[in-house]
Chain A
């Protein structure tokens, strides 16, 4: 139990009559990179604001690094680095002034401050812009400054609210690899509504929807929750009509749905859903051989997190 860095129990937050976070329970172990996933307005930011002691929970408890976020808020705040949503920074300061200010507010000694700023500046790629005003930097650099201020005191826990929102694809890749590297030694919680992001950076995913926790697991675990699998088949049927092919394919045991999709000229393409998780590829291949169709393509598409996400956050069937 000693490596549990964040312990959240029945955490609840009401804004007036609206319940933003509804009895959320989870825990994060040391060294995990936890992706907090959910549609906009699901309660991600609110949960993070409670973990960082900015807001007090209406109900439930949260312990960060062993300290209660409400009763021992100063101890919690000493041990976390936080990047709020939209990266608010003091734009009228230069990068090095800003990082110095952060270190001073955190009460660091001047030697430690200097060495940490140097170290973190190099890691976040800020050495060249140290003398520039924060407000004059590009969004990607501002995001790096935001990360640098969150790590200047070498915290055990990083809480990052949408660290890559509004960045271009190159910047996103940079920030992600930075987070991944940091995640090797620290506990990281990051929120996002971008799915590839969690797949790329996170070792564990929490999906939150309407203030409630709806899923908790590794990306693989969540993907495997998706029942059945989908195949894409393209055949040349040697004169047989597409409908006949479709009827044959649809008649195979285990197939729940067979649909024509647009394919190449002279060929028939189908998207097939199967109930069972058994491999249907052999059976589909057999069917093609038996019917003397020329098989041009046969792919099993693995379920992706997008389906899981849509399924969990809208309650609609992902494949109907």
Chain B
């Protein structure tokens, strides 16, 4: 078994052996459930716009709560020393933990499919935007998870890891809202960085490679920084 997968497996088991996964799932399902059926009962429309519109914001604090312990906890308790003196590469630790947290988020998204099916049985929902929305959410979640892993690699304090991850995630989310407020010259940059700007197109069912590349590069940059942060102990 590869070391990366061994680490992922351990982390996934830890999530489901501790209250973390269940609390996160419950909170997310309650909020998502409200968003789903809000539109249904109040506006009498079977559609998922409310959910897809607000899920990006839910992610800004749900995902840091999932990722905050990943590396920070090991730094604090000293098990990181045990782990990285085994014959594995630093990136394997980072990627293994990234996969574990992303798996939990994927399970979370998978559970909300239950709402989608319910909605669909009441009134047919648009297939394209729904598939696109889920794909987009998964890509966005991957970016948030990578940011969370990175923040967790920076510190041995889980609270600090949470706040840093939340701060970065929320800023990226906010960029989409404040694009009109910044000087015109900065607008393209802010719009480009905005994490849910890239989600909108996918959410409409239009999969543009630029949006996919945006999320994948966010993941790459964050994971590389996390790996460098682990390796920094060896800088002379």
Interface string of A85-125 (1 = CB under 8 A from B): 11011111100010001101111001000000000000000
Identify A89's interface contact among B10, B79, B234, CB under 8 A.
Answer: B79
Q: For window 1-51 of chain B, which residues contact chain A by CB distance below 8 Å?
A: 1-3, 5-7, 9-10, 13-14, 17-18
Whether A104 pairs with B1 at a CB distance below 8 angstroms is yes
Whether A90 pairs with B10 at a CB distance below 8 angstroms is yes
Instruction: Kindly list chain A residues whose C-beta atoms are within 8 Å of the C-beta of B2.
Output: 107
Is B236 positioned at the interface, with any CB of A under 8 Å from its CB? yes
Task: Give bound CA distance, A102 to B87, whole Å.
Answer: 11
Whether A84 pairs with B85 at a CB distance below 8 angstroms is yes
B1, B87, B89, B236 interface centre (most CB from chain A within 10 Å): B87
Whether A89 pairs with B89 at a CB distance below 8 angstroms is no
Whether A82 pairs with B85 at a CB distance below 8 angstroms is yes
Whether B88 pairs with A105 at a CB distance below 8 angstroms is yes
Task: Give bound CA distance, A57 to B235, whole Å.
Answer: 9
Instruction: Kindly list chain A residues whose C-beta atoms are within 8 Å of the C-beta of B83.
Output: 105
- A66 → chain B closest CB, angstroms: 15
Instruction: Kindly list chain B residues whose C-beta atoms are within 8 Å of the C-beta of A93.
Output: 10, 13
Task: Give bound CA distance, A101 to B65, whole Å.
Answer: 25
Is B127 positioned at the interface, with any CB of A under 8 Å from its CB? no
Is A212 positioned at the interface, with any CB of B under 8 Å from its CB? no
Is A258 positioned at the interface, with any CB of B under 8 Å from its CB? no
Task: Give bound CA distance, A90 to B235, whole Å.
Answer: 27
Instruction: Kindly list chain A residues whose C-beta atoms are within 8 Å of the C-beta of B88.
Output: 105
Identify B85's interface contact among A54, A75, A85, A90, CB under 8 A.
Answer: A54
Instruction: Kindly list chain A residues whose C-beta atoms are within 8 Å of the C-beta of B234.
Output: 55-56, 70
Task: Give bound CA distance, A106 to B87, whole Å.
Answer: 6
Closest to B3 in A: A105
Instruction: Kindly list chain B residues whose C-beta atoms are within 8 Å of the C-beta of A92.
Output: 14, 17-18
Task: Give bound CA distance, A104 to B9, whole Å.
Answer: 10
Instruction: Kindly list chain A residues whose C-beta atoms are within 8 Å of the C-beta of B78.
Output: 84-86, 88
- A54-B233 CB under 8 A given contacts A101-B10, A107-B2, A149-B82: yes
Q: For window 240-275 of chain A, which residues contact chain B by CB distance below 8 Å?
A: none
- A90-B87 CB under 8 A given contacts A58-B236, A101-B10, A105-B7: no
Instruction: Kindly list chain B residues whose C-beta atoms are within 8 Å of the C-beta of A105.
Output: 3, 6-7, 83, 86, 88
Whether A90 pairs with B79 at a CB distance below 8 angstroms is yes
Q: For window 61-88 of chain A, which residues contact chain B by CB distance below 8 Å?
A: 70, 74-75, 77-78, 80, 82, 84-86, 88
Instruction: Kindly list chain A residues whose C-beta atoms are within 8 Å of the C-beta of B9.
Output: 104
Identify A74's interface contact among B5, B79, B89, B235, CB under 8 A.
Answer: B89
Is B81 positioned at the interface, with any CB of A under 8 Å from its CB? yes
Task: Give bound CA distance, A108 to B196, whole Å.
Answer: 43
Identify B84's interface contact among A54, A70, A80, A85, CB under 8 A.
Answer: A54
Is B121 positioned at the interface, with any CB of A under 8 Å from its CB? no
Identify A107's interface contact among B1, B7, B79, CB under 8 A.
Answer: B1
- B-contacting residues of A (Cβ < 8 Å)? 49, 52-58, 70, 74-75, 77-78, 80, 82, 84-86, 88-93, 97, 101-102, 104-107, 110, 149
List 26 A-B residue pairs with CB atoms under 8 Å apart, sorted by A's residue number: A52-B85, A53-B85, A54-B85, A55-B233, A56-B233, A77-B87, A88-B77, A88-B81, A89-B79, A90-B10, A91-B77, A92-B17, A92-B18, A93-B13, A101-B6, A101-B10, A104-B1, A104-B3, A104-B6, A105-B6, A105-B83, A105-B86, A105-B88, A106-B86, A106-B87, A107-B1
Known: A54-B233, A107-B1. 15 other contacts (CB 8 A): A53-B85, A54-B84, A74-B87, A75-B87, A80-B85, A82-B82, A84-B78, A88-B77, A89-B82, A90-B10, A92-B14, A92-B17, A101-B6, A102-B86, A105-B88
Nearest 8 Cβ contacts at the A-B interface: A88-B78, A104-B6, A56-B234, A77-B87, A78-B87, A88-B79, A52-B85, A104-B1
